[in-house]
A and B are shown apart, each in its own frame.
Chain A
Amino acid sequence: MSFLELQNITKIYPNGTKAVNETSLNIENGEFVVFVGPSGCGKSTLLRMIAGLEDITNGEISLDGNVINNIDPSERDVAMVFQNYALYPHMSVFNNMAYGLKNRGISKEEINNKVNDVAKLLEIDQLLTRKPSMLSGGQRQRVAMGRAIVRNPKIFLFDEPLSNLDAKLRNQMRLEIKRLQRQMGVTSIFVTHDQTEAMTLGDRIVVINNGVVEQVGTPKEIYSKPNTKFVAEFIGSPQMNLFNCKIENGIAHIADIKINLNNSKNIEDASLGIRPDDILISDNGQHTCVANLVEYLGSDMIIYSKIGDQEFSCKLSSKIDLNAGDTFKFDISSTLVHLFDNTTGLRV
């Protein structure tokens, strides 16, 4: 039996919207799981059901062997970090962190020790007397984490906690969250719409779309072998190129380009996916295209081009001398492509 088990969880809002549909998931103790998906896909709803902030329409959630469907949020032993931190504006940092402990009837001395320890761990021990309004974004983030850590819960729940920070701070906090999670070994669920965050943080990633789990796996599995067309498009930056094509006897036809897939498949309406950095550009490539636009990124550059009327992009080292308007030659290797059936959206 797993540490946290979701069985056929469904959430239907009173207005009839189905936010989460028949979702099952097992999470092991100490694991760092990331829920990722576009906004409105139900990932936050799922997290909030685990926290007890939303009712569960159908299904069962059990934590550490106990069904927690009808247990009050405060008694589930979970801690949550909210997107806008939800710090208590009228309380000092110390009281923000101590409030949950006070409600649990823990002695003053113990509260003092715990809060001070966690504050040191997060390097916010200088800020304990301040009010949240006097803190910077990064400091607030730390306090919000401290408030969760100090309670020593069974599970940490993070609801897009980094989305209010600027890019630099976000990277820094991301590393810090990962480091803290490793250090404490507490099971964590992190919700984000940012696939980079998902890839870098998670031991396992759960890709969710329209209330349905599309794929569960390690970042590597998800990146190298996306189960569905949605996952292929969603994970990876720049986005995977997907060409609508017809496959006859193992040969994909994209406009006037033919790609030998080394199999004998026949699909009427398929998508051929290839990551921008998997397109091999070389002078003796089989196919020729015109670079319509070149985006310079420093070490890399991205070339936008078209096959027929289908746009695609390639990522390559910026050492290659290629400008907008130039033609270039490339190969698409059959070992690097991902094939999806357009009618089912599934990998073939």
Chain B
Amino acid sequence: MKFKPLEILTHIILILGVLLMVLPIWFSFATSTHDNVSIMTEGMKFFLGESFSQNYNEVLNEKGGWSEEVTATRMFINSFIMALGIATLKVVISAMSAYALVYFRFKLAVPIFWLIFITLLVPLEVRIFPSYKIVSDLGLTNTYTGLILPLVASATATFFFRQFYKTIPDELLESAKLDGANSWRFFIDFLLPLSKTMLAAMFIFMFVYGYSQYLWPLIMTTDEKYWTVVMGMKIIFTENYEGVALPRTGERFAYIILSMLPPVLVVVILQRWFIKGLIQTEK
């Protein structure tokens, strides 16, 4: 096969792009397999070292924090629960509210939609004190409910679902009506299966969003049992930093690599579904 000059150029640009994305991750991974002495003396590593199992074992099982009770595994579980809860509820709630906005033609549907849309301008960081007040008044600090609940409404997802539902031809609804489908059945039997790819895409976005929350869990949790991965990144393995001991760079890189895994897995697993839906254009 012959390449034209332009094709070679585009490939070079693409390869550079890939390297730019992959190299930092590879450096982090390679470094995470070395012991702290060699990292301290020689800096970042390109080749794999021999401390893989030791570093990763320490990360997962060493009890840390002020109370010396919480392990990184616990944080991974917390983050996973939080992200899963946020993503699931966000997708379910916004799909349902978009359904109401598009198919139930009540008078205030349009103003309500724009009201929801405007909330995009008020992210959690802006309303963090009122949100905290409400959650703490409800006695939900240091609970999973408290971590998840204030983040489950999503204007973005509602907007995307609304746009998608609007592309579904009216005849489909009418035909379903004649076939005896009520509102609930139409949602379950038609809209959800038809928006499968949309659901997958939204779930990916929202999972990553929930997983990478930092400020909210930081304020919400005083109990280390509810710490999340992103919070932990700043706190864990730093306790000896001021002392004479070496900084635990190897373990910290191992922790970073591990913290990337859950979102990557979610993307990889759902992506197949996502692409499958993109190829089969059926509507």
The chain A residues found within 8 Å of chain B, CB to CB, are: 51-53, 73-75, 78-80, 82-84, 86, 88-90, 99-100, 103-104, 131-133, 147, 151
Which of B110-118, B168-176, B211-219 lines the interface with chain A? B168-176
CB pair A78 B282 closer than 8 Å: no
Contact of B174 among A80, A89, A132, A147 (CB under 8 A): A80
Which of B94-102, B131-139, B188-196, B198-206 lines the interface with chain A? B188-196
User: Residue of B at shortest CB range from A144?
Assistant: B175
Say how far A111's CB is from chain B's closest CB, in angstroms.
13
Any chain A CB within 8 A of the CB of B180? yes
CB pair A82 B171 closer than 8 Å: yes
List, in ascending order, chain B residues with CB within 8 A of A89's CB: 194, 282-283
Say how far A107's CB is from chain B's closest CB, in angstroms.
16
CB pair B169 A51 closer than 8 Å: no
Q: With a 10 A CB-CB cut-off, give which of B175, B189, B280 has the most chain A CB atoms.
A: B175
**Bound CA span A151–B176, Å:** 13
Tell me whether A73 and B194 are in contact in the complex, defined as CB-CB below 8 angstroms, given that A82-B171, A133-B280, A133-B281 are known contacts: no
**Bound CA span A244–B196, Å:** 62
Contact of B169 among A73, A86, A133 (CB under 8 A): A86
Tell me whether A100 and B169 are in contact in the complex, defined as CB-CB below 8 angstroms, given that A88-B190, A89-B282, A90-B194 are known contacts: no
Say how far A127's CB is from chain B's closest CB, in angstroms.
15
CB pair A100 B174 closer than 8 Å: no
CB pair A74 B281 closer than 8 Å: no
**Bound CA span A78–B181, Å:** 14
Tell me whether A53 and B194 are in contact in the complex, defined as CB-CB below 8 angstroms, given that A86-B169, A86-B171, A132-B282 are known contacts: no
List, in ascending order, chain B residues with CB within 8 A of A73's CB: 174, 177-178
Contact of B282 among A53, A80, A131, A147 (CB under 8 A): A131
Any chain A CB within 8 A of the CB of B11? no
CB pair B178 A79 closer than 8 Å: yes
Contact of B177 among A53, A90, A132 (CB under 8 A): A53
Tell me whether A99 and B282 are in contact in the complex, defined as CB-CB below 8 angstroms, given that A86-B171, A88-B190, A90-B194 are known contacts: no
Tell me whether A88 and B172 are in contact in the complex, defined as CB-CB below 8 angstroms, given that A99-B189, A103-B185, A133-B280 are known contacts: yes
CB pair A51 B185 closer than 8 Å: no
Contact of A90 among B169, B193, B281 (CB under 8 A): B193
CB pair A100 B282 closer than 8 Å: no
CB pair B180 A103 closer than 8 Å: yes
CB pair A100 B172 closer than 8 Å: no
Tell me whether A82 and B174 are in contact in the complex, defined as CB-CB below 8 angstroms, given that A99-B189, A100-B180 are known contacts: yes
List, in ascending order, chain A residues with CB within 8 A of B196's CB: 90
CB pair A80 B281 closer than 8 Å: no
